[in-house]
Amino acid sequence: MTSSLLRIEDLHVTFSTRGGLVEAVRGMTLSLQAGEMLGLVGESGSGKSVTGFAVTRLLDRAGRIVAGRILFREQDITRATSGDLQSLHGAAMAMIFQNPRAALNPIRPVGAQIADAILAHRRLSRQEARAEALNLLRAVQIRDPERRMDAYPHELSGGMCQRVMIAIAISCNPQLLIADEPTTGLDVTTQKVVMDLLAEIAAARGMATILITHDLGLAARYCRRVAVMELGRLVEEADPLTLFRSPQHRYTRRLVAASPTATSRVEDLVPEGEALPRVEVMELPPPAAGTPPLLDVQHIVKRFDDGVPAVENFSMTMAAGESVGLVGESGSGKSTTSRMICRLIDPSEGEILFDGYSIAKVPARDFHRSPLRKDIQIVFQDPNESLNPRFSAFDCIAHPLLRLLKMRAGDTLRRRVEECADRVGLPRELLSRFPHQLSGGQKARVGIARAIACRPRLLVLDEPTAALDVSVQAVVLQLLDRLRREDNLAFLFVSHDLNVVRMMCDRTIVLRAGGIVEQGESRALFANPQTDYTRELVEAVPQFGSPPSLVPA
Amino acid sequence: MSASTKTFGMIGATFARAGGRFLSSLPALFGVLVFTFLLMRVLPGDPAVFFASGPNAGKEEIEVIRKQLGLDKPMPEQLAIYLYDVGRGNLGRSMMTGQPVARDLRQRLPASLELTLTALMIALISAVPLGVLAALRSGSLIDHGVRLFCSLGVCVPTFVSGLLLIYVFYYLLGLAPDPTGRVDVFTALPPSRTGFLIVDFLLAGDLDGWWAAVRQLALPALTMALFVIAPLARITRASMLVSLGSDFVRTARSVGLSRWRIVVTYALRNAILPVITIAGIVFSTMLGANVLVEKVFSWPGVASYALDALLVSDYAPVQGFVLLMASIFVVINLLVDILYGIADPRATVA
Amino acid sequence: MSSIDASSTLRHTAWVLRGNPLTAVAAVGAVLLSLVAIFGPLLVPYDPVASDVPQALQPPNAAHWFGTDQLGRDVFSRIVVATRLDLAIAVTAVSISFVIGAVIGSLCGYSGGKLDRVVGRLVDVLMAFPLFVLAMAMVAALGNRVENIVIATAIINLPFYIRFARAEVNVRRNLGWVEAARACGDSNVSVVLRFLLPNVLPGMAVQISLNLGWAILNAAGLSFIGLGVKPPTAEWGIMVAEGARFISTGRWWLVAFPGLALMIAVLCFNLLGDGLRDILDPRKRT
């Protein structure tokens, strides 16, 4: 079988935006054999999704293929008419998308949507199509398929919606499936279920798949070949083992180093020559016996208006300079807990002692006046939302200095802000810029600078790098680690990413549905989980460095 | 669960939602009553003078009226009496006609409703297809034309467009009849069954009369329709564009569904949802525009009745009119809510 | 801080105006209208209230560009003079509603809870009335004077601003930077008034512009039915009302020209509002 199913030759795609023409893909060449699973990996702006949309000819109106060819089954479809494409779509090539609930018609039962897809290419009666749809729901392992046939997308979970999408996509047995970030936004356990399903179906039907993702580990686990894209170009292509053991291209090396694994350390995240200088910090003497722990949380509970407890009986202690991770899936209550600890919301019950002082007794709306406010600061998840769009970077960093330390505008303030910017590696000339003029990584640094401006003793970090590209995340994690050791800062690191938490935190607490499942020293916890749930979590994380796990033939 | 069980479930849920919506609109109705009461009693001016036989009534007469209206009693008691009266259907008596306001309103309501409903129908039939077409052919001449029409349409006041229509169709072209009233002077009214002349003439088998009524209705209905075609077309177009650009339409294209199915079953059905909500709001503005159109065309509806009363300081009809309009609007909102609930399975009982 | 923001806003504004010539025209139109409102009465050829009965009901001609009305008054002069009254009513009413509505709406949107529920109910009651009918009733109750038209228009506009501000603040209140402001020492009220409100204002500018157009139509409608403005005052609505009697006998200029003035004023503000939306929508920025 020498002819490939799909061949992309020197593809160039441009988008016309208000600012002019943007080249999203610049000369991409790739081929795919029948039945093969290929991973297309890249960060934001790499052009990986655009390539996927170009192949299926579902580009936005603003996007155009300006050069190159796409050959599907040895036929040039670059300039195919909409009639030709309609017969290809679904029957020969199909696609599944990133946000599964939005990708389904919200006012049509899912069974009807699957039936629509079936009837688009096959002549069946309504009842036959419905029966076929039911079979497909079983094939994608949806429990209780008869009932789910008439459900609407908003009644299904994210994972179930993605499985329905898969059912729709495979309904007419296409030979090629393109999966565009199919598990982004899903919990790690759901992600494993969906990906296992996808791999199984692809293998069973001999369907070639292109898995477009930013997660190197995911691509490594499921794909026989991985292609890496940077800024619209394909920089390297190899099987996962070769790619990770001996990456050739500079970018691939950076990407591989930056992707946290089960065994990576913070120091290794950035390859030699690009890392921040190592800071040697003296080991501080242990605190005298009898001093209260820095943070002592005692049996806090949070009940919202509907009476359902979001957090139940949560207790923990933290010493000065210690780093504790809080992991859990969505709905575990980790964000609510972190917000209670940094006093943005009030616990319904329980006590929080900071340095021996009760801070739970002070209501959240008055905490801004407490002298302890400056000792507990928070770094937020989404850099796009965590900076006031009308404040320059300087103003953002100066804000706590003005309010909490009661500094006055002037030279002292300016020097202090510049000092903070230097510490986080933000070039001083960027201080006068506004958030929309800064990159994601730069915004993250401003957020960190703001949080450390008043030299807090406890820093709550709520998924601080979840919205960042992997290479940017690597640099920010190194920065955070260094800041912690320089200032003897205590960290409460909230995250869903187990690898990151294992790297950054001495101890880890695992949360589920508002309650603590397990806690302990990080490395030991992840190497040898004591509870089933923790074990499930650990096993669900796609790791690389070992051969990809393929579904047995 | 079989499809029929699900349908029964949906009907049951719809009734439950309707019931729930009705209950939650009761506070609004109550608020409307109280507000109207306050408006007419608490604000500056002596209500007794308002409700007396005229601005020049004698002092004793005013005192008598004041006692009659219970204005010497404390406010909460007045409110209670007022609510009781309204509940019994007693909205006072009009000075102008000498009849109870409730009876006047009942006699004249069908005229206003006939006008408004006809206008709404014309507007929906024109605006929705226009909006859909403009969205499907986005960027084309049709699209620009529709957008231009919408931009201009919301700028022209109803009373101006009505008068200009009279000028063109009555004075210049001679096509429209004399723009006064529901039928011309030569046609006899049919026996009143529904109050809607269009219907009553048909029921009586009087086709000449029916045609006369239609001709009289044409211009005022068209005037009022023009007023709302623009916002309806605009919202349809915008909603359709959003729908066509949505993720689920992209999914539909990715599996090769036919163009018809994509446009109608996937895009249009979703696009209609905001249009339903806007149609309810638009109906409210039409109830207000009634005042203007009825004045221009001397249409004998409730709005012109209230307006005439207002200008001669006869306030009981005005109060009754305001209550009536607000109540109609609350009922319409309820219907829109129910309709929306049927169309969108995501909508839950508030 | 302000210099960079101002120059980039100016550049963006220039780019939008070049791309949407309609918006530029509308902006110019709005400025012209304001100038006419301020200086018009000083420059008109005829006294707007002076009758000249022998010249009554003249169609447009060289002496009277827009013709004369039933009392021989020059229609053109009356239209120009009326600009001031109509714009003044609209601007005053919208300003009052906007300020009160924005503050109340922001506080409700941020705090939720009892304040939100009570205000929500009051707004629901206000919105249960067809607005024009409500305005009518208010003017009837308060008295048939121009000031009451302003008050009535302000009150019926209030719900829109309250709801708009509430929705905008609600969307933003859980954003990271709002929580960061709390962590940096700001109280709740300070966050709403100093940070959330300024972020909500640009969107409200769009509403204000659209609202101005609507307020003009509303005021004209009320005077058309005889409320508020009395003869011989020149106001667009009342001019249409006086001219309505003569339309069936073919004197179109009495209705057409005031109608045209109304249409142009409303069109300018509407297009301006749409253009403002383009300028201020950050998603459309490069």
Given this model, what pLDDT does residue B2 score? 58
Residues A113-132 pLDDT 10s: 999 999 999 899 999 999 99
Residues C86-142 pLDDT 10s: 999 999 999 999 999 998 998 888 887 888 888 988 888 888 888 888 888 888 777
Sequence length of chain A is 553
Residue type, B207: L
- Cα–Cα distance measured from residue C1 to residue A279, given in angstroms and rounded to the nearest whole number: 34
Given this model, what pLDDT does residue C141 score? 77
Given this model, what pLDDT does residue C42 score? 82
Q: Which of C128, C213, C224 is opposite residue B155, by nearest beta carbon?
A: C213
Helix axes C253-280 and C236-244, enclosed angle (nearest 10): 150
Given this model, what pLDDT does residue A80 score? 86
- Cα–Cα distance measured from residue B312 to residue B52, given in angstroms and rounded to the nearest whole number: 12
> Which of B154, B155, B156, B242 should be substituted to probe chain C, the one whose Cβ sees the most C Cβ atoms within 10 Å?
B155
Q: Is B291 on the interface with C (CB under 8 A)?
A: yes
Given this model, what pLDDT does residue B239 score? 92
pLDDT band at A286 (very low <50, low <70, confident <90, very high): low
Rounded to an integer, the average pLDDT of A229-243 is: 92
Searching chain C, which residue's CA lies closest to the CA of residue A464? C176
Q: Contact A394/C282, CB-based, under 8 Å?
A: no
Searching chain C, which residue's CA lies closest to the CA of residue A377? C183
Model ipTM over 0.90: no
Q: Are A501 and A508 in contact (CB under 8 A)?
A: yes
> Could you tell me what percent of chain A has a pLDDT over 90?
51
Q: Is C138 on the interface with B (CB under 8 A)?
A: yes
Searching chain B, which residue's CA lies closest to the CA of residue A130? B3
With 60 as the cut, is the pLDDT of residue A552 above it? Answer: no
- Cα–Cα distance measured from residue A258 to residue A290, given in angstroms and rounded to the nearest whole number: 41
Given this model, what pLDDT does residue A277 score? 60
- The CA distance from C154 to the nearest CA of chain B, in Å, is 16
Q: Is A250 on the interface with B (CB under 8 A)?
A: no
Helix (H, G, I), strand (E, B) or coil at A32: strand
Searching chain C, which residue's CA lies closest to the CA of residue B309? C140
Average pLDDT in chain A? 88
Searching chain A, which residue's CA lies closest to the CA of residue C16? A18
Residues A63-112 pLDDT 10s: 889 999 999 998 888 888 888 888 889 889 999 999 899 999 999 999 99
- The CA distance from A91 to the nearest CA of chain B, in Å, is 7
Residues A11-53 pLDDT 10s: 999 988 877 888 999 999 999 999 999 999 999 889 999 999 9
With 90 as the cut, is the pLDDT of residue B80 above it? Answer: no
Q: Contact C221/B292, CB-based, under 8 Å?
A: yes
Beta-carbon neighbour count of residue A231 at 10 Å?
15
- The CA distance from A538 to the nearest CA of chain C, in Å, is 29
A552: which residues sit within 8 A by CB, 6+ positions away? Answer: none
pLDDT band at C4 (very low <50, low <70, confident <90, very high): very low
> Which residues in chain A are contacts of B346 at CB distance < 8 A?
106-107, 152, 154
> Which residues in chain C are contacts of B334 at CB distance < 8 A?
none
Q: Is C134 on the interface with B (CB under 8 A)?
A: yes
Cis previous bond, C232, omega within 30: yes
Q: Which of B250, B258, B346 is opposite residue A120, by nearest beta carbon?
A: B258
Q: Which two tokens stand for residue A515?
A: 């309650």
Q: Is C181 on the interface with B (CB under 8 A)?
A: no
Q: Which of C141, C249, C266 is opposite residue B155, by nearest beta carbon?
A: C266
Given this model, what pLDDT does residue C171 score? 84
Q: Contact A58/B254, CB-based, under 8 Å?
A: yes
Residues A203-221 pLDDT 10s: 999 999 999 999 988 999 9
Q: Is C105 on the interface with B (CB under 8 A)?
A: no
Rounded to an integer, the average pLDDT of A372-396 is: 88
Strands A6-17, A63-72: pairing kind: antiparallel
> Which residues in chain A are contacts of B258 at CB distance < 8 A?
86, 120
Q: Which two tokens stand for residue A487?
A: 């200032």
With 90 as the cut, is the pLDDT of residue C13 above it? Answer: no
Q: Is C118 on the interface with B (CB under 8 A)?
A: no
Q: Contact A377/C1, CB-based, under 8 Å?
A: no
> Which residues in chain B are contacts of A108 at CB distance < 8 A?
265-266, 269
Residues B255-283 pLDDT 10s: 999 999 999 999 999 999 999 988 888 88
Q: Is B1 on the interface with A (CB under 8 A)?
A: yes
> Could you tell me what percent of chain B has a pLDDT over 90?
26
Residues A420-431 pLDDT 10s: 999 998 999 999
CA B332 vs. chain centroid, Å, equals 8
With 70 as the cut, is the pLDDT of residue C230 above it? Answer: yes
- Cα–Cα distance measured from residue C197 to residue C106, given in angstroms and rounded to the nearest whole number: 7
Which segment, A261-275, B276-290, C50-64, is predicted with the most confidence on average? B276-290
Q: Which of C179, C282, C286 is opposite residue A19, by nearest beta carbon?
A: C286
> Which of C22, C23, C118, C125 should be substituted to probe chain B, the one whose Cβ sees the most B Cβ atoms within 10 Å?
C125
Given this model, what pLDDT does residue A461 score? 94
> Which of C177, C190, C201 should be substituted to probe chain A, the one whose Cβ sees the most A Cβ atoms within 10 Å?
C177
Strands A507-512, A490-495: pairing kind: unpaired
Given this model, what pLDDT does residue B35 score? 81
Beta-carbon neighbour count of residue A411 at 10 Å?
8
Rounded to an integer, the average pLDDT of A237-256 is: 90
Q: Is B242 on the interface with C (CB under 8 A)?
A: no
Given this model, what pLDDT does residue B251 score? 93
Burial of B185 (C-beta count, 10 Å sphere; 0-12/13-18/19+): exposed
- Cα–Cα distance measured from residue C239 to residue A119, given in angstroms and rounded to the nearest whole number: 63
Burial of B261 (C-beta count, 10 Å sphere; 0-12/13-18/19+): middle
- The CA distance from C104 to the nearest CA of chain A, in Å, is 20
Q: Contact A433/C282, CB-based, under 8 Å?
A: no
Q: Is C244 on the interface with A (CB under 8 A)?
A: no
- The CA distance from A450 to the nearest CA of chain C, in Å, is 9
Q: Contact B256/A99, CB-based, under 8 Å?
A: no
CA B53 vs. chain centroid, Å, equals 32
pLDDT band at B1 (very low <50, low <70, confident <90, very high): very low
Q: Which of A382, A403, A432 is opposite residue C185, by nearest beta carbon?
A: A403
Q: Is B269 on the interface with A (CB under 8 A)?
A: yes
Burial of B186 (C-beta count, 10 Å sphere; 0-12/13-18/19+): exposed
Residues paired with residue A95 on neighbouring β-strands, in sequence order: A178
Rounded to an integer, the average pLDDT of B64-78 is: 71
Question: Using H for helix, E for strand and C for coil, what is the string for A280-303?
Answer: CCCCCCCCCCCCCCCEEEEEEEEE
Nearest to A371 by CA among A383, A355, A384: A355
> Which residues in chain C are contacts of A17 at CB distance < 8 A?
286
CA dihedral C14, C15, C20, C23 (to 10 degrees): -30
Given this model, what pLDDT does residue A547 score? 44
Q: Is C128 on the interface with A (CB under 8 A)?
A: no
Q: Contact B248/A171, CB-based, under 8 Å?
A: no
Which segment, A267-271, B152-156, C277-281, is predicted with the most confidence on average? B152-156
Q: Are A5 and A72 in contact (CB under 8 A)?
A: yes
Rounded to an integer, the average pLDDT of C185-208 is: 82
Main-chain phi, psi angles of A543, to 5 degrees: -110, 155
CA A426 vs. chain centroid, Å, equals 24
Q: Which two tokens stand for residue A104?
A: 């389904």
Given this model, what pLDDT does residue A465 score? 87
Q: Are A133 and A164 in contact (CB under 8 A)?
A: no
> Which residues in chain C are contacts of B163 at CB distance < 8 A?
240, 243-244, 247, 255, 259
C242: which residues sit within 8 A by CB, 6+ positions away? Answer: C69, C70, C231, C254
Q: Which two tokens stand for residue C141?
A: 């109750």
- The CA distance from B265 to the nearest CA of chain A, in Å, is 9
With 50 as the cut, is the pLDDT of residue A507 above it? Answer: yes
Helix (H, G, I), strand (E, B) or coil at C133: helix
> Which residues in chain B are contacts of A86 at CB distance < 8 A?
256, 258
Q: Which two tokens stand for residue A325?
A: 């991770």
Helix (H, G, I), strand (E, B) or coil at A383: coil
Q: Which of B3, B247, B346 is opposite residue A150, by nearest beta carbon?
A: B3
Q: Which of A95, A120, A150 is opposite residue B257, by nearest beta carbon?
A: A120
Given this model, what pLDDT does residue A548 score? 44
Residue type, A287: P
